[in-house]
Structures are given as C-alpha cells and as structure tokens.
Amino acid sequence: MKIITLLLLMITSITFGSAIQLGTDIDGEAAQDLSGHSVALSSDGSIVAIGAHNNDGKGSGSGHVRLYQWDGSSWNQLGSDINGESLY
C-alpha cells in the first residue's frame, strides 16, 4: 500500500505542477544524431548529461555525450564532447 501511495503522490505532483524551462533549447549537432535519446540529471538539477547515440564525430554511429551545467541563467557545456568508438 505504501508503494501505491507514493506513486500516486508522485503522479499528482507531476500532473498538477507546472514545468518551467530553464534557459534556451540545447540542440544537437544534426537531426540524425538523435541527441537527447538518453538524458541524465544530477540530484540537484544543475548538471545534465545528454547522449546522442547516432553522432558521427568519431566515425559512423560512434555517438557522444555532452555535459551541461546550469549557472543560474544559462546552460554551459562542461569540457569537450565525450565521443564513443566507431562501429566500423
């Protein structure tokens, strides 16, 4: 019963809460990169990791991850792209 109650509270918060976008959109390099296919957010919401598993930066379909940090007014990339290995 506790699990169901917790789930209902979470759904209620999401349903009745309002989302506010922080900063501008974070776009990928190209539409076919599938940027945003995987996303992770730090516990305080100040750092986000965005994966683009079809990015070709290091070869066909090698993929990459970018980390961004919120500075209070905009999202800034932390470091360089983290590139995957080429499929071929």
- What's the pLDDT score for residue 48? 93
Q: Which of 25, 27, 31, 70 is nearest to 47 (CA)?
A: 70
Residue 61 is given by DSSP the state T
- The answer to whether 42 touches 36, Cβ cutoff 8 Å, is no
Does the pTM exceed 0.85?
no
- What's the pLDDT score for residue 8? 42
**Sheet arrangement for strand 35-41:** 35-41, 47-52, 64-70, 75-83
CA-to-CA distance for 54 and 60, rounded, in angstroms? 8
Q: Average pLDDT per run of 10 along the chain, which is 88 residues long? A: 40 57 88 88 91 86 92 94 82
- What's the pLDDT score for residue 13? 43
CA-to-CA distance for 45 and 54, rounded, in angstroms? 25
